[in-house]
Structure formats: C-alpha cells, structure tokens
Amino acid sequence: MGDPKAPSTPRRRLVEDQCCIDVSVLYRAGKLVPGTCSVWSWSRGTGIIGAVNLLAKAHAIEICGYVATGTGTEPVQDVLQIARVPARFANPPCGRGLGATSTFLVCPGSLSRRQKLYIVGRQCQCRQCHRLGFAVEAKGPVGRSLHKAAKARAKLGAAPGFACPVPQRFVPVVARRGGRGAGRRRYDRLVSQIAEGDRAALSGMMAAADRLASSIRRCDP
C-alpha cells in the first residue's frame, strides 16, 4: 500500500472550467470591428465568474478585467494580436466567396494561431500552453462514445439522447438547381459517427449489465 502521507497528484485543470475567448463568437457578435468597445462576461449557474472590457483595433484586441479563482479574483490585462489569413475553399460557388479570410488570435505563449484562448490566472494563452484537459478524458468508454454521438447530433440539429432519430439532410434550392448535394459527405460522416457512438455505448452498457448479473449470481447462496 502507498504512503498515506504522500502528496496526491494535483487534478489537471479542465477547459470547461476556464474563461474562454473564442474569436469566431466575437466575430459573429461584431466585437472585432476596429474601434468597437464592449464588455464580455462569463457565467456559471447564476453567478458571474469573469468579465473583461474589449477594445478592438485593426490588428489586435485589448482586454482588461478580472476572472474569479478559488481564492478570490485575478486581474487580467493583455493585448491579443489578430491574424487574418486567406480562407480555405474560398472560391465560389461552394466556398465562402473570393477573397474571404479566416480570423485567428495569436497565442502570446506559443505564437501560434488559435481560435480559442483561455484565461488562467492572469495569463491568456492557448490550451497547450496552460496544459488544459477535457472533461471527456476522465470518462469511461461508454461516456466517451455517448459524448461523441451527442456532439454529432448537435451539429445535425437532432434531439439529444441515446437512439434519438436523426433529421434528413437539408438541400437548399441553389444546390438543387446545380444538381449537387448540400454537405452530403459531412452529413454521411456525422450519421456514421452517431451510429458508431450509439453502437459502442450500447455494447458497453450490455457488457456492464452482464458483469452485474454475474456478480449477483455469485453472491446468491
């Protein structure tokens, strides 16, 4: 047996517990227009766990605010650089349009382009710099399979839950006139992920039920 006085391994911090700055969300909300000054906050339950003032410039965002920690609050102040690069598949008719760009934030730690940066303490950096993990990593095989299937269901707009029906693929009128399907490969890929996830989860639950039944039979006199 191990030494009871030995220090326990600290729990890895999770992405889901941190305040996240998502550049795609800011872009859709119009917060990246140069000269825009706004407030961005994060909540958990009914309480606010962080808030920052955002000042958008041509190639950067200035943030100033605070985040809540286990012992109080930490001030946050940083300048995040914005990187705009030519978008993939930007050519019409299937892409985002000629000359379209993709917007990223530059991580101050690794200097890499990221869609999301996380505030831990006083630093705003990427997941790799903060060594953050995901909550799904602590789940068993059944939980991971259900989580993967739930994400695919959400992308298709299906109802959450095990073995819920998947809606049919939507084909816009523009794609019908051109004789092409709208996201056929993506739809088929997500449906396959849902089927594989449900199948793996069902197999895991049946195996767990068999083990439970075997233990009950062994305990019977």
What pLDDT does residue 96 have?
Answer: 56
Model confidence, pTM: 0.69
**pLDDT bucket at 1, cuts 50 / 70 / 90:** very low
pLDDT score for 90: 53
Q: Is 181 within 8 Å of 172 (Cβ atoms)?
A: no
| pLDDT reading at 68 higher than 60 | yes
What percent of the chain has a predicted confidence (pLDDT) above 70?
83
What element of type H or E holds 197? Answer: helix 184-219
Tell me the percentage of the chain whose pLDDT exceeds 90.
32
The closest alpha carbon to 56, from 100, 105, 18, 102, belongs to 105
* pLDDT at 106 > cutoff 90: yes
Give yes or no for residue 24 having a pLDDT over 60: yes
Q: Kindly state the average pLDDT of the residues 123-138.
A: 89
Q: What three-state secondary structure class fits 5?
A: coil
Cβ-proximal residues to 67 (8 Å cutoff; 6+ apart), any chain: 19, 42, 49, 50, 73, 74, 76, 119
For 164-183, b/e burial (b = at least 16 CB within 10 A) is eebeeeeeeeebeeeeeebb
pLDDT of residue 182: 54
pLDDT (tens digit per residue) in 174-197: 544 444 555 778 888 888 888 888
pLDDT of amino acid 89: 60
More confident residue, 51 or 7: 51
Neighbours of 25 (CB within 10 A): 13
User: For residue 122, how many other CB atoms are within 10 A of its CB?
Assistant: 13
